[in-house]
């Protein structure tokens, strides 16, 4: 039996192709139903996320070519694209390569945003579906559970998931470093803009109590307030509102400062020096830079945030190297396990055969053993059993040992020949 993986990811295929395989279309049958019916396939896993489609199967080794063709045809059919086009997007991996790929995917090393945590959950979900469809067995169970362990190891032993890698999350992280907890805090959003709204949304997810929205045009402010379920204020009210907010995100198109140092200093006195986190995303800047010199005021502009993100990204890249080493090690472990699997049937048969001989001989001797006392009969039986065990022990241990250095198959074949094991 061998492992075969066919898939496409954000690295090999455009979104226009990947989206055709999404599982959300409920009217279609689950691909596992189809895959299960294909000949020679014993086990299967189907993973589809917005960034990848992967099919992992275990199949008889001699049928691998046919299985690959079959899976490709199935995918072409499901995606409604020509085989040629599909061929450009697909990669096919087998054996240890396939295992390594799955480990990297589960550990989020192959993700668009490296280290993002969702992928592991998606792999687990795909595995659950495979179990429900009854298409998992000894190989896939082991690979998947191993993949979950590897992902956990990578997460705890490397810093691959450390630190924010988007401006929005960087803002959240900084806010946490300043305030500790964010529940009960109040945001003020000044001006509109994609990045500032995104940052606000990230912050809102952290239990922010309420949000004020200020804009030059009141109508726009009202519109945004409705969108964020907050309160609208006009730009002139901002210095006043400053005394009751904790985080300000500013991104107006104004050509001069919306918030001056004096405004901030005055507000700070009135708010009894409670921390104030100012995020200035606007270019040109909205907040007078010297405002950041005031005690308990933390002012970050777009460059500061971007720098932080870049540094975090580099950190992740360095950590990824450690993760790759872990994966190499675990792929090795897995291969070792797989190769012991090759010799296991031989060991079982070997044992059965020798024990069979022993039993047959015992039966033959039944006639003369009658004359022995019951105690002596039992002695004879245990003597035989212990001789058999002693004889079996060395070859079995040797076979297991050899299977770890790839010689398993040759040794198993020799053993089969020597003892005339069937199959």
Partner 1 sequence: MNTFFFKAAFCAYLVSALGYVASLLVNRFRIAKMALWLMISAFLFHSLFLLYRLFETGQTPLLGFHEALTFFAWVMAGIFLALQFKTRTVVLGAFVSPVVCLLMIYASLGLRSAVTIPAVLQGGLVPLHVILSVTGEALFALASCAGAMYLLQDRFLKSKKAGRISRLLPSLGDLDRINHLCLLWGFPLLTMGVLTGSLWARLALGNSWLWDPKQVWTFTVWGTYAVLLHQRLAIGWKGHKTAVFSLLAFLLFLAAFLVERAFFTTFHRFL
The C-alpha atoms of residue 196 and residue 214 are separated, in whole angstroms, by 12
Binding map of partner 1 across residues 158-177, x = CB under 8 A, - = no contact: -x--xx---------xx-xx
DSSP 17-81: HHGGG-TT-TTSPPHHHHHHHSTTEEEEEEEE-SSEEEEEEEE-GGGHHHHHHHHHHHHHHHHT-
Binding map of partner 1 across residues 310-329, x = CB under 8 A, - = no contact: -xx--x--------------
Based on CB atoms, which residue is closest to partner 1, 298 or 337?
298
- CA 273 centroid distance within chain: 43
List 22, 118, 217, 296, residue binding partner 1 (CB under 8 A): 296
The C-alpha atoms of residue 5 and residue 185 are separated, in whole angstroms, by 48
CB of 284 to partner 1, least distance (A): 19
List 34, 304, 369, 404, residue binding partner 1 (CB under 8 A): 304
Task: Decide: is 125 part of the binding site for partner 1 (CB under 8 A).
Answer: no
Binding map of partner 1 across residues 230-269, x = CB under 8 A, - = no contact: ----------------------------------------
Based on CB atoms, which residue is closest to partner 1, 126 or 308?
308
Phi-psi region of 188 (alpha: psi -120 to 50; beta: other; left: phi over 0): beta
List 88, 274, 364, 378, residue binding partner 1 (CB under 8 A): 274
398 has catalytic annotation:
no
Based on CB atoms, which residue is closest to partner 1, 177 or 359?
177
CB of 295 to partner 1, least distance (A): 4
List 181, 318, 359, 393, residue binding partner 1 (CB under 8 A): 181
CB of 381 to partner 1, least distance (A): 55
Report how far apart, in Å, the C-alpha atoms of 36 and of each of 22, 135, 138 are.
19, 7, 16
Based on CB atoms, which residue is closest to partner 1, 272 or 417?
272
Question: What are the start-end ranges of the E strands in 60-162?
Answer: 91-94
Helical H segments across 180-301, by residue range: 194-204, 218-228, 238-241, 261-270
Tell which residue, 207, 218, 266, 205, has the closest CA to residue 241.
Answer: 266
Task: Decide: is 298 part of the binding site for partner 1 (CB under 8 A).
Answer: yes
CB of 285 to partner 1, least distance (A): 15
Catalytic residue chosen out of the listed positions 25, 50, 89, 398: 50
Tell which residue, 300, 261, 266, 264, has the closest CA to residue 281.
Answer: 300
Task: Decide: is 364 part of the binding site for partner 1 (CB under 8 A).
Answer: no
Dihedral through CA 174, CA 179, CA 182, CA 185, nearest 10? Answer: -110
Tell which residue, 232, 289, 240, has the closest CA to residue 267.
Answer: 240
List 156, 255, 371, 373, residue binding partner 1 (CB under 8 A): 156
Task: Decide: is 178 part of the binding site for partner 1 (CB under 8 A).
Answer: yes
- CA 12 centroid distance within chain: 19
Based on CB atoms, which residue is closest to partner 1, 159 or 193?
159
Q: List beta partners, residue 232.
A: 213
The C-alpha atoms of residue 52 and residue 44 are separated, in whole angstroms, by 16
Q: Which of the ranges 58-66, 273-281, 360-368, 403-411 carries the binding residues for partner 1, by CB under 8 A?
A: 273-281
| Positions that interact with partner 1 (CB under 8 A) | 156, 159, 162-163, 173-174, 176-181, 272-275, 292, 295-296, 298, 300, 304, 307-308, 311-312, 315
Q: Which residues are the active-site residues?
A: 50
């Amino acid at each position: 039996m061998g492992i075969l993986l066919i898939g496409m990811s954000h690295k090999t295929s455009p979104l226009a192709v990947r989206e055709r395989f999404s599982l959300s279309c409920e009217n279609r049958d689950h691909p596992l139903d189809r895959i299960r019916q294909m000949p020679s396939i014993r086990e299967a896993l189907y993973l589809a996320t917005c960034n990848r489609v992967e099919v992992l199967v275990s199949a008889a080794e001699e049928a691998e070519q046919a299985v690959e063709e079959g899976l490709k045809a199935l995918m072409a059919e499901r995606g409604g694209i020509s085989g040629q086009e599909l061929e450009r997007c697909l990669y096919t991996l087998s054996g240890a390569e396939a295992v390594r790929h799955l480990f990297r995917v589960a550990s989020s090393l192959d993700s668009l945003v490296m280290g993002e945590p969702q992928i592991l959950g998606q792999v687990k979900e795909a595995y659950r579906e495979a179990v429900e469809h009854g298409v998992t067995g000894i190989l896939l169970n082991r690979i998947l559970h191993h993949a979950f362990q590897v992902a956990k190891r990578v997460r705890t032993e490397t810093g691959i998931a450390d630190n924010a890698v988007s401006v929005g999350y960087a803002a959240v992280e900084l806010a946490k470093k300043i305030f500790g907890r964010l529940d009960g805090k109040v945001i003020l959003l000044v001006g509109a803009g994609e990045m500032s709204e995104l940052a606000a949304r990230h912050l809102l997810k952290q239990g922010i109590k309420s949000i004020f929205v200020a804009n030059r045009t009141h109508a726009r402010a009202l519109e945004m307030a409705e969108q964020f379920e907050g309160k609208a204020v006009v730009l002139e009210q901002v210095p006043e509102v400053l005394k009751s907010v904790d985080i300000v995100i500013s991104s107006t198109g104004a050509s001069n400062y919306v918030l001056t140092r004096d405004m901030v200093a005055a507000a700070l006195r009135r708010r009894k020096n409670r921390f104030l986190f100012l995020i200035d995303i606007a270019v040109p800047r909205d907040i007078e830079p010297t405002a950041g010199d005031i005690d308990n005021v933390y002012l970050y502009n777009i460059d500061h945030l971007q720098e932080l993100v870049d540094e975090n990204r580099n950190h992740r890249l360095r950590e990824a190297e450690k993760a790759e080493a872990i994966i190499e090690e675990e792929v090795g472990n897995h291969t070792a396990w797989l190769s012991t699997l090759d010799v296991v049937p031989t060991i079982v048969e070997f044992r059965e055969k020798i024990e069979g001989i022993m039993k047959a001989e015992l039966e033959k001797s039944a006639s003369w053993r009658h004359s022995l006392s019951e105690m002596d009969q039992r002695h004879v039986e245990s003597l035989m059993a212990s001789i058999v065990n002693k004889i079996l022990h060395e070859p079995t241990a040797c076979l297991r040992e050899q299977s770890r250095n790839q010689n398993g198959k040759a040794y198993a074949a020799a053993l089969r020949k020597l003892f005339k094991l069937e199959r």
